[in-house]
Each structure stands twice: as structure tokens, then as C-alpha cells.
Chains A and B, each alone.
Chain A
Amino acid sequence: DAGVIQSPRHEVTEMGQEVTLRCKPISGHNSLFWYRQTMMRGLELLIYFNNNVPIDDSGMPEDRFSAKMPNASFSTLKIQPSEPRDSAVYFCASSPLSLNRVVNTEAFFGQGTRLTVV
């Protein structure tokens, strides 16, 4: 398996523009996480999907952020409109975690998308 695949690796956009980040999880994994990494706040969980259903989006900063998982092999994180403070590295991670199982399964991370909003 190629692991978690994120695209693009780098994105530079102007303030006010829409940005879409993409993620392909590891095949067979039924949990997907979006994290944001910044120097100031470290790694923050934005949203968690299980079996394509959003379970917890309490980490999504505001309404400008939205995430979808239309099927088991694809997820998007969209920012509209983007702002300079959204500049960060966004990671997607997947896990074979099941909500009904003991929670001891690690998450597998993609390479991240470095977003710069100017």
C-alpha cells in the first residue's frame, strides 16, 4: 500500500480564495482524521470521520472550514474564503480504528499539505 496520499504537497493562494486539500486514506481503514500543525498551536485535530461519517468536528476553527468524505477512499478539506492565519501544514491520517473496539490503534499520517495564504 502506498500509505496515506495527500495532494497537493504545497499550496500558495491569495487571501479570499477557496482552497481544497485532498486525501486518500489507506485501503481498508475506516477512520480518517484531519490535523493542522502550526508552530504556535502544535498538532490540532480538526475533524474525525468513521465509516465516512463525521463523528467529531469540534476542532474545525470556524464556518470557513468544511470537510467531506464522499466514500471510503477520498476526503477533502475546504477553506473558503482563506485567510493568512490559515497558513499551516495540514495532515490527513487514517486508522483501522473501529468505534466499537478498544482504542489502541495508531494513526498513519500522510506527508501533509503546506498551505500558505498571502
Chain B
Amino acid sequence: AQSVTQLGSHVSVSEGALVLLRCNYSSSVPPYLFWYVQYPNQGLQLLLKYTSAATLVKGINGFEAEFKKSETSFHLTKPSAHMSDAAEYFCAISGGSNYKLTFGKGTLLTVNP
């Protein structure tokens, strides 16, 4: 079975500060990992995905994530937070013959002026 754990249900940062959202995974097969963002009353939008081509993945809106197999992690970062980044962020996993996207519980990001 595959799973992801997002550490911290709520992260608060100041505008301009580093954003770090944590995701650890568990998988018995090489995983595919995703970060999605959900704005209020909206569906989920893909930020970036890891598919084994490169361990450092760049996504939209200045976000990036690094796949670290030794740490079973796929943390999401952004050097400088913007007010528009305030949203809920979900880490998700699939892989092998598993077509299911299994989501973490989500991390709500608040950006303070």
C-alpha cells in the first residue's frame, strides 16, 4: 500500500518568507509524487509532479520540490511567499500498478502581510 503524510496541518508565513511544506511517503514500489493546490471553493490544481526523470522538480508559481529517496520525502518549497499563495496544499502518490492517487490530509498555508 502507498501513503503520504503531510507534517503540519497549518503553516503560517510572512509575505516574502520561505515556504516549506513537508511530505513524507511510504511505497513498496518506485513512487510517482504530486503536489496539488486548492484555493477556496475550487478544485485541485496540479503544482508539480515527480516521475523519476529528475529529483528536483520545478512547478508553477515558483514552487519546487525535491525527491529524496533516502529520506522518503518530497517537500514543497518556494523562496518567497506571496499573498496569493494562501491555499491548501495536498501531497499525493501513485505508482507501480496503482492507478489511485492517494492524498495526504493537506496543509493550509496562511501568508501574513
CB < 8 Å neighbour of B101 from A42, A50, A107:
A107
A104 to B30, CA, bound (A): 11
Cα–Cα, bound, A20→B28 (Å):
38
* B43 adjacent to A91 (CB under 8 Å): yes
A103 with B96: CB separation less than 8 A: yes
**Chain A, interface SS category:** strand
Do B32 and A103 touch (CB < 8 A)? yes
CB interface residues, B 33-58, toward A, < 8 Å: 34, 36, 41-46, 49, 51-52
Q: Which residue of B lies closest to A56 (CB)?
A: B100
Q: Is B103's CB within 8 Å of the partner chain A?
A: yes
- Chain A residues closer than 8 Å to B84, beta-carbon distance: none
Counting chain B residues whose Cβ lies within 8 A of the other chain, the interface size class is 20 to 34
With A103-B95, A104-B32, A111-B42 as contacts: A45 and B101 at CB distance below 8 Å: yes
Q: Of all chain B residues, which has the CB nearest A58?
A: B100
> Do residues B100 and A45 form an inter-chain contact, with CB atoms below 8 A?
yes
Asked if B22 is an interface residue, CB under 8 A from chain A, the answer is no
Interface size on A, residues (CB 8 A): 24
Q: Interface 1/0s, chain B 72-113, versus A by CB < 8 A?
A: 000000000000000000100011111111111110000000
B44 touches A91 (CB 8 A): yes
- Chain B residues touching A, majority SS: strand
- In angstroms, Cα B43 to Cα A109, docked, is 6
Q: Can you name the residue of chain B whose Cβ is closest to the Cβ of A6?
A: B43
Q: Cα distance A91–B90 when bound, in Å?
A: 15
- The answer to the question of A77 belonging to the interface, with a C-beta cut-off of 8 Å to chain B, is no
Known: A42-B105, A43-B90. A31 touches B43 (CB 8 A): no
Point out the residue from B44, B90, B99 that lies within 8 Å of A97, measured CB to CB. Answer: B99
Query: Of A33, A109, A111, which is in contact with the most chain B CB atoms at under 10 Å from its CB?
Result: A109
B residues neighboring A (CB under 8 Å):
32, 34, 36, 41-46, 49, 51-52, 90, 94-106
Knowing that A43-B106, A93-B101, A104-B32 are A-B contacts, what are 18 other residue pairs whose CB atoms are under 8 Å apart, sorted by A's residue number? A4-B43, A31-B99, A33-B101, A43-B90, A45-B101, A48-B99, A48-B100, A50-B99, A56-B100, A103-B32, A103-B99, A104-B49, A104-B95, A106-B101, A108-B46, A111-B41, A111-B43, A112-B42
